[in-house]
Amino acid sequence: MTYAIEAEGLVKRYGDKAALDGIDLRVRAGTVLGVLGPNGAGKTTAVRILATLAAPDEGRALVGGFDVTRQAAKVRQLIGLTGQYASVDEKLTGTQNLVMIGRLLGLSRTSAKARAAELLERFSLTEAAAKQAGAYSGGMRRRLDLAVSLVSRPRILFLDEPTTGLDPHARNELWDVVRELVADGVTVLLTTQYLAEADQLADDLLVIDNGRVAASGSPDELKALAGGHRLDLKPLRRDDVEKAAGILGAKPGEDGRLTIPIHDLAVPPAVLRKLDEAGIVLAEHALRLPSLDDVFLTLTGTDKTLMGAGK
């Protein structure tokens, strides 16, 4: 098995706080690793270390077979990085942004222009090529950002929360681009707060929390880890939510929905009888397999409304 990215025991401290507290990870060449975690989990720190922008305090990492600390220049030649915050120059047009990066990478004026045109076409930005990036929509900006990181034809790509803040349409477009890149053999490490995104794109997942690995495996393996079914219930009357929560021993979501894990399929009918006896009428009830949201909740205790936001 060849790994495009391998890291062992990564530690990064800021003062007395460990942003990373011993992270191991591996990404098979030509696959997508989704790194999931709530805000502050250490996702960006991990990406920065792997992309040679920060040095680890402990541990070691190989990217494309090169050591990120001792062979940083080699690593930089292989990788592309799209950071969490848009990095394009707003005063420059789409074409100018791409040509500038091409020139910085040592391409001739003609090659830089040709590469820019090719990328603009690929990202459906040809019509906006002569417009200043400052006038682009959020989705266009992210696509230009991604295009900028692809000028050098990287074989390994780091995407740090590439779709945070995008509307569903723009998010879908970006997912398609990532799928195309993977079809071309590019290895992708993507961080995200959106479980749907991880489920859609990632071959493997790494859930991190407080700088540590909370779980890893394929999306299906992680779902199996959450075990059993889930019963979702929503009382019709808002006033009944607390009462139902008391009976079920569950914490209601913002929308009044209650979810309980089910390990015995005889339980759901019994639950419904109990609620009925208490005079609670349900607007919705559904038995389902665990989602990645449940996995996340089980593993990190993070409220799933936060993780599912904007889905």
Ligand X SMILES: Nc1ncnc2c1ncn2[C@@H]1O[C@H](COP(=O)(O)OP(=O)(O)O)[C@@H](O)[C@H]1O
Residue among 80 and 162 whose Cβ is closer to Mg ion: 162
In sign, the C-alpha dihedral spanning 289, 293, 297, 303 is: negative
Residues forming contacts to ligand X in the complex (CB under 6 A) are 14, 19, 37, 39-45
CB of 32 to ligand X, least distance (A): 18
Task: State the binding partner of 14 from ligand X, Mg ion, none, CB within 5 to 8 A by kind.
Answer: ligand X
Determine which residue in the list 42, 44, 95, 143 makes contact with Mg ion, applying CB under 5 A: 44
Task: State the binding partner of 149 from ligand X, Mg ion, none, CB within 5 to 8 A by kind.
Answer: none
From residue 58 to residue 97, the character string flagging contacts with Mg ion as x (rule: CB under 5 A) and all else as - is --------------------------x-------------
Residue among 54 and 224 whose Cβ is closer to ligand X: 54
User: What is the size of the binding site for Mg ion (CB under 5 A)?
Assistant: 3
CB of 84 to Mg ion, least distance (A): 5
CB of 118 to ligand X, least distance (A): 32
Task: State the binding partner of 19 from Mg ion, ligand X, none, CB within 5 to 8 A by kind.
Answer: ligand X
Half-sphere exposure of 47 (CA within 13 A, CB side): 28
* Angle subtended at Cα 38 by Cα 205 and Cα 253, rounded to the nearest 5 degrees: 105
Residue 192 binds Mg ion, judged by CB under 5 A: no
Residue among 116 and 166 whose Cβ is closer to ligand X: 166
Residue among 119 and 297 whose Cβ is closer to ligand X: 297
Task: State the binding partner of 71 from ligand X, Mg ion, none, CB within 5 to 8 A by kind.
Answer: none
CB of 123 to ligand X, least distance (A): 25
Ramachandran quadrant class, 125 (left: phi over 0; alpha: psi -120 to 50; beta: rest): alpha
CB of 222 to ligand X, least distance (A): 18
- Quick one: tokens of 142? 């992210």
CB of 187 to ligand X, least distance (A): 20
The single residue listed with the structure tokens 């950071």 is 83
Task: State the binding partner of 37 from ligand X, Mg ion, none, CB within 5 to 8 A by kind.
Answer: ligand X
Indicate the helix (H) or strand (E) that contains 270.
helix 267-277
Residue nearest Mg ion (C-beta atom) = 44
CB of 191 to ligand X, least distance (A): 7
CB of 91 to ligand X, least distance (A): 27
Do 261 and 213 touch, CB atoms closer than 8 A? no
Residue among 66 and 158 whose Cβ is closer to Mg ion: 158
Half-sphere exposure of 278 (CA within 13 A, CB side): 21
How far apart (Å, rounded) are the C-alpha atoms in residues 233 and 67? 51
Alpha-carbon dihedral 50, 51, 54, 58, rounded to 10 degrees: 20
Task: Give phi and psi for 177, each to the nearest 5.
Answer: -65, -45
Task: State the binding partner of 56 from Mg ion, ligand X, none, CB within 5 to 8 A by kind.
Answer: none
- Among candidate residues 202, 192, 125, the one with its CA nearest the CA of residue 163: 192
Distance of CA 168 to the CA centre of its chain: 15
DSSP 27-79: EETT-EEEEE--TTSSHHHHHHHHTTSS--SEEEEEETTEETTTTHHHHHHHE
| DSSP H helical ranges for 86-231 | 94-104, 109-122, 138-150, 168-183, 195-201, 219-226
Q: Which residues bind Mg ion (CB under 5 A)?
A: 43-44, 84
